[in-house]
Amino acid sequence: MTGNGDLFNASPNRSAAEIDRINRDFYGRFNYPWLPMMLPMLMDPTFLPRFIAQELGDFSGRRVPPDAQIWVAGCGTNQAVLTALRFPGAQVLGTDVSTRSLQVARDTADQLGLANLTLEEASLNDPLHHERFDHVICTGVIHHNADPERPLDMLARALKPDGVMELMVYNFYHRQHTTAYQKAIRLLSGGQQGLLETELAMTRDLIADGRLPGSMAGFLAAQRDLPEPAVADSLLQPVEYSYTVQSLAAMCQRVGLQLLQPCLNQFDKLSGRFNWDPPLPEGQTREAFDKLDDLARWQVANLLMQEASPMLWFYVQRQGSRPSRAEINAAFMAQCFRHAATPVRSFVLGVDQRYTESGHSGQWPVPALPADPVARAVHAACDGVTPMRVILDRLAMDQPELDRSPAGITRLRQVLTTPAFPYLVAA
Ligand SMILES: C[S@@+](CC[C@H](N)C(=O)[O-])C[C@H]1O[C@@H](n2cnc3c(N)ncnc32)[C@H](O)[C@@H]1O
């Protein structure tokens, strides 16, 4: 049975097919996510696969091939399109239960002339694929299902034995207000599905009124200027589970998967909340924490940092050997790096809600240099022939903020060598 079942917001007796229909109606009414203003197409097909491999500790860059078969499962309106743009050498399949979301994705793909994307209407609750994909991306999807373990099992079966999945489920500690609000609004609207317009109208009134006491007031006020699909996605979601590191790892294990490494995502990057190393007193507490294995450390971080812990956004793989963070950090320190960049073509959303190519040639990453001053100094020192350990030894003299603890090295790795911060690639 799925952990934290008391956070489930629909009748526990509904079948997978009924919940699929509820999701189809919900995402037919609210387009999620909404259209981004700009869509960049990376011109180098090896660029992103190499950074994914690096985030997983494979500095040879081979873990996800540039011509990968990729499945974006529960792709919504644009995630499959974004993936096809980011992996121009791959074949991308996007599936969803929402006819409307797929139509939006299809329109966008047509405007961009994407040739490496296929879109299909299908539910993750039905068996679809067997060991077909090098890479599966499924973020924010399975927790909206009748029993999330079932779609996760389908995803595990679809992954090649050495494939990598990017998986995100809600973090229990991030969902206290959302779940409470969803339950309250469901009671206020009579507990029926299909009353979304009533729930939306009441939600607008509650947000505008602003007199609720306590932390709910600030939570609702923060929704005020968000687009309607974002408000609906967090406040009116008909079906949702949430997890802790422990319950997610246990669910993964039941379907033959294991957590590989945290995946630094755009939301945690934006909020700066991507650190799985809580501030701890030096001495016995810090030493005890550093001795734990990766999973236990993430659990402690999740428990101690609560709402300030990162999202539960992880790379997972079928069970087997996995490098530990200590091994990845050691490989990072031994590695020589060079500066990375790829040309991009940019498509811009016009007032007619259609994309056209901007005509300006650009480069990725943006910004071109790391914002963090220590990371910028390390980046400047990388010449393709000097190992990271030597560079950090040299910089330690005049960079007192340089932190060479396991947490400090991990952070440097994150802000220099991952898809979210693609500045350095192994030489
Ligand atoms: C919150 S949206 C996330 C969209 C996308 N993954 C992203 O991160 O932008 C959830 C999506 O999952 C889809 N979904 C939910 N259950 C599904 C299922 N069983 N099979 C396929 N798609 C599903 C919904 O229709 C919706 O488009």
Residue-wise pLDDT for 175-223, tens only, equals 999 999 998 998 898 866 667 889 999 999 999 999 999 999 999 999 9
- Does 80 sit in the ligand 1 pocket, CB within 6 Å? no
Q: Which of 96, 129, 240 to mutate to test the pocket of ligand 1 (most atoms within 8 A of CB)?
A: 96
- Does 148 sit in the ligand 1 pocket, CB within 6 Å? no
* Residue % of the chain over a pLDDT of 90: 82
Mean pLDDT of 109-137: 96
- Does 124 sit in the ligand 1 pocket, CB within 6 Å? yes
Q: Which atom of ligand 1 is nearest to the CA of 72?
A: 6
Q: Are strands 159-169 and 337-339 parallel, antiparallel or unpaired?
A: unpaired
pLDDT-derived band at 8, boundaries 50, 70, 90: low
Q: Is the pLDDT of residue 2 over 60?
A: no
pLDDT-derived band at 235, boundaries 50, 70, 90: very high
350-408 pLDDT tens trace? 999 999 999 888 999 999 999 999 999 999 999 999 999 999 999 998 888 899 999 99
Q: How many angstroms does the Cα of residue 322 sit away from the middle of ligand 1? A: 29
Q: Is the pLDDT of residue 170 over 70?
A: yes
Domain annotation for the chain: domains and CATH numbers: 5-173+240-323 (3.40.50.150), 176-235 (no CATH), 329-426 (no CATH)
Helix/strand/coil for 167? strand
**Which residue carries 């990057």 as its tokens?**
269
pLDDT-derived band at 323, boundaries 50, 70, 90: very high
H-only helix segments in 262-402: 266-271, 284-291, 294-305, 325-334, 373-381, 388-396
Q: Is the pLDDT of residue 326 over 80?
A: yes
- Helices then strands (H, E): number in the chain? 17, 15
H-only helix segments in 87-195: 99-112, 149-158, 176-188
Characterize 42-80 residue by residue with b for buried, 16 or more Cβ atoms within 10 angstroms of its Cβ, and e for exposed. Answer: bebbbbbbbbbbbbbbbbebebbbbebbbbbbbbbbbbb
Global pTM reads: 0.95
- Does 98 sit in the ligand 1 pocket, CB within 6 Å? yes
84-99 pLDDT tens trace? 999 999 999 999 999 9
Q: Which atom of ligand 1 is nearest to the CA of 27?
A: 25
pLDDT-derived band at 5, boundaries 50, 70, 90: very low
> How does the average pLDDT of the chain come out, rounded?
93
Distance CA 401, CA 198 (A): 53
Q: Which atom of ligand 1 is nearest to the CA of 168?
A: 8
Q: Which two tokens stand for residue 406?
A: 């396991």
Distance CA 397, CA 399 (A): 6
263-273 pLDDT tens trace? 999 999 999 99
Q: Which atom of ligand 1 is nearest to the CA of 23?
A: 25
Q: Which two tokens stand for residue 4?
A: 């934290």
- What's the Cα-to-Cα distance from 180 to each of 61, 395, 408, rounded to whole Å? 43, 49, 37
